[in-house]
Every structure is written in structure tokens, then in C-alpha cells.
Amino acid sequence: MAFPDSAASKRGLLIVIEGLDRSGKSSQCQRLFDFFRLQGQRVRYVKFPDRSTPTGKMIDSYLTGKAQQDDHSVHLLFSANRWEAISSIKSDLLSGMNVIVDRYSFSGAVYSAAKDNPELSLSWAWNPEIGLLKPDLLFFLDISSEVAAKRGGYGAERYEREEMQSRVRELFKGLFDRLKIVVYQVDAGRTINQVAVDIQAVVKGTLANQQASTAEFETLGHLLDTAT
């Protein structure tokens, strides 16, 4: 009978990169993906919303303005889009693969709450995320909405307006406080290389420490203060 050695039984890291539109998330996810590959480590890149699935296609129609949706209904579609992927993410992590996630539950809650619909509070928006896997590492690419607006390609989709992005930025910070979650805030107003170096330094430290990769899974919990 074969017993797994300690290296084989180690699970991968779940790494989430969050930020405003045009904060450089996708470039950083790609850089981190290449970094793991260069280290000879297995890695998967997941982007939410995943527009290829049935829920993702409905979300895409909404974001590109082809379809209208009730705020609550589209919110739950975004959440379902994450829930439908979580078992495959979990099994990849258990197989030792590292998983990099481009947007996750944090975007889920703040983009919906930023609509300022009095019937859709931040805590209402957070609730469907409870129970999803908690990231081992969470990065927030911090950039002002003014700088984000000056970057190319801004303005094509539903949420890409400066005042919306500015609310989103405040809500991200409030959400992180209310979750008491460890978040690495990275100044994303710099070059891609500078940002990548900061992210890789944290990841290298975590890999060297090894503990996160052997830990049990944790899940996302309730907001500590559920007043709003």
C-alpha cells in the first residue's frame, strides 16, 4: 500500500487578487501564474465572473447592457457563478495545485452594494458568499478611481464610471475592516513590474513558511458588524 509523502499531501494555495476595474488585476494574475510555472509548481488561473458558463452568459449580457436584471437577481447570479466553480477549485487545491483567482466574493459584495439600492445593503450582499473557501492570500490592488479612469479601455461596461468606482473603493476598505481578514494592500498606481515584485515577495514568504499550504480549509464567515 502506498502512503503519500508529506510533499504530495500538501495542498495548494488559494490566492485572490481584488481591485477596481483597470487596477491591473489580470496582468498581475498572469505574472503570478508565470511565477509559479517558473518555480515548477502546478497552478490554475480562475477569473470571476466566468462568462463561459450558463450563469456567466447571463452576467455577460447584463454587463454589456444587452439585458436588464433586477439588482438582487443579478447579484445572486454572480454568487452562483462562484459557487458552481468551488468544488473544482477545492479538488485542484487538494491535488496540490495553486489557484489564482481574479476577483472573488469581495467584488461580489461591493459592486452590488455600490449601486446604492436601499434594499441591497453590504451585509445582504455578503450573505450568499458565506461558506465559500477563504483565500490563503488576499491582495487588494489599490488605485484611485481618477487614475483608473485614465487607463485605457475604461468605460465600455456597466460599472465603469468614475463615481461608481470611487464608491466601490470605499466599500472594499469597509468590507475588509468588517471581515477582519488579512489583506495585502498593494499600491497599484506603479508599474506592472513594481507591483508584481511586491506580490511575489508575499507569495515567496508564504511558500517558504509552508504552513498555509498544509492548513485545513477555512471558509468565509459573517460580517462582524451587521448593522448595514
Binding site for ligand DGP (CB under 6 A): 21, 48-49, 63, 75, 78, 103, 107-108, 111-112, 157, 159
CB of 70 to ligand DGP, least distance (A): 12
Is the Cβ of residue 117 or residue 206 nearer to ligand DGP in the bound state?
117
Tell me the sheet residues that pair with 44.
99
Tell me the sheet residues that pair with 140.
18, 185
CB-facing half-sphere around the CA of 36: CA atoms within 13 A: 23
Residue 126: CB partners within 8 Å, gap ≥ 6? 105, 109, 175, 222, 223
What is the rounded CA–CA span in Å between residue 139 and residue 142? Answer: 9
CB of 95 to ligand DGP, least distance (A): 26
Question: How many residues are listed for the chain in this entry?
Answer: 228
Is the Cβ of residue 112 or residue 145 nearer to ligand DGP in the bound state?
112
Is the Cβ of residue 36 or residue 106 nearer to ligand DGP in the bound state?
106
- Three cell numbers written together for 7: 510533499
CB of 90 to ligand DGP, least distance (A): 19
Is the Cβ of residue 111 or residue 139 nearer to ligand DGP in the bound state?
111
Do 183 and 138 meet the contact criterion of CB atoms below 8 Å apart? yes
CB of 78 to ligand DGP, least distance (A): 3
Is the Cβ of residue 11 or residue 132 nearer to ligand DGP in the bound state?
132
What is the rounded CA–CA span in Å between residue 214 and residue 10? Answer: 5
Is the Cβ of residue 21 or residue 92 nearer to ligand DGP in the bound state?
21
CB of 210 to ligand DGP, least distance (A): 31
> Which residue is associated with the grid cell 476595474?
21
CB of 35 to ligand DGP, least distance (A): 21
Helices 25-38 and 192-209 pack at an angle, to 10 degrees, of 50
